[in-house]
Amino acid sequence: MSQSNATAYPVTQLLTVTRSLVELTDRAVSDSELSHAAADVLVFAARQAAKLVEDVVGARLHDAAVAHALAQCSISSDLDRAYSDLECLAEAAGMIRAHGIGSQYRAHLAYLMRYAAESACSALERADRSMAGANVVASVVDLPAATLRN
């Protein structure tokens, strides 16, 4: 996907990032430990993805036509769910760095983070399908793309 396509369709971009988070957390679970380096990547990527969800949510508040179009489909709760899951993922990964959590507990956190990443991914997939089904992609494209450039 080109950069312009990724910024034009923020939910699609979020799905790409979130699927990568699922893969990274899945590897951590398979390895039975989450390294400090992987935790750093997860914190950064999850916070950036949560910020992008926040931008998409904010866009619907600034344009009545977009807000109405989004209200017609069920993506509001899906976006809110994705945001919460991504923040949970970032906080859990941040605990590893901030509190020096030992390896025996990092494996447990890896399971939690995989669940949060999978949940966020599922919510974004539902939002993406809802937007496509309601044909609101054209309405949403311009506002989040402008926020991404800032």
Contacts 24+ apart (CB under 8 A), 90-96: 90/42, 90/43, 90/46, 90/47, 90/50, 92/116, 93/34, 93/39, 93/40, 93/42, 93/43, 93/46, 94/39, 94/43, 96/34, 96/36, 96/39
Q: Where are the alpha helices (DSSP H) in the chain?
A: 3-8, 10-30, 36-62, 64-72, 75-99, 103-134, 137-149
CA pair distance 50, 43, nearest whole angstrom: 10
Q: What is the pLDDT of residue 144?
A: 45
Domains of the chain with bracketed CATH: 9-142 (1.20.120)
Q: What is the pLDDT of residue 147?
A: 40
**Over the stretch 6-49, which tens digit does the pLDDT of each residue have?**
334 678 888 999 999 999 999 888 887 778 888 889 999 999 99
> Side chain identity at 118, as an amino acid letter?
E
Q: What is the pLDDT of residue 66?
A: 64
Q: Which CA distances in Å does 144 have to 30, 50, 121, 147?
A: 36, 14, 19, 5
Of 73, 49, 52, the C-alpha closest to 132 is: 73
In the block, tokens 């990274």 appear at: 24
Q: How do the pLDDT tens digits run along the chain, 150 residues long?
A: 433 343 346 788 889 999 999 999 998 888 877 788 888 899 999 999 999 888 877 766 666 766 666 666 667 889 889 999 999 999 998 888 788 777 778 888 888 999 999 999 999 999 888 777 665 444 444 444 444 333
State how far Cα 89 lies from the chain centre.
10
Q: What is the pLDDT of residue 135?
A: 56
> Side chain identity at 12, as an amino acid letter?
T
